[in-house]
Amino acid sequence: MRSGFATIKQYYREGEFDSCKGKWVELFSCISLKTRPASEVEAVLKQREVSKEHIWQFRTQQEAADHWKEHFGHLEEE
């Protein structure tokens, strides 16, 4: 159960209450991995890492400079 403050913050940010389903899934997944052989656990974790969407967007130096100017170039004009 989440605290009242955390629940209100989630509602404010996302517009809906959090059922914590993702946390329960992670907990049961963790517990199930603890009962498997080490080699199997390693394979499962590698597969999860490969299937995850990467949170960073990699850019070349020129792409990064263009992106910076597009978003923050107005700060350099002063």
Which two structure tokens, joined as six digits, stand for 61?
């130096």
Domain-located, residue 22: yes
Domain-located, residue 20: yes
The whole-number pLDDT of residue 78 equals: 58
d(CA 15, CA 49) in angstroms, rounded, equals: 30
The total domain count for the chain is 1
The whole-number pLDDT of residue 40 equals: 93
Taking a C-beta distance cutoff of 8 angstroms, is the pair 20, 2 a contact? yes
Domain-located, residue 68: no
Domain-located, residue 57: no
Domain-located, residue 21: yes
What angle, rounded to 10 degrees, do the helices at 38-51 and 21-34 form?
150
The whole-number pLDDT of residue 38 equals: 92
Below-50 pLDDT ranges, the chain: none
19-33: string of b/e by CB count within 10 Å (b at 16+)?
eeeeeeeeeeeeeee
- Where do we find the tokens 């999860």? 48
Domain-located, residue 5: yes
Domain-located, residue 43: no
Residue range of the domain that includes 22? 1-36
Domain-located, residue 53: no
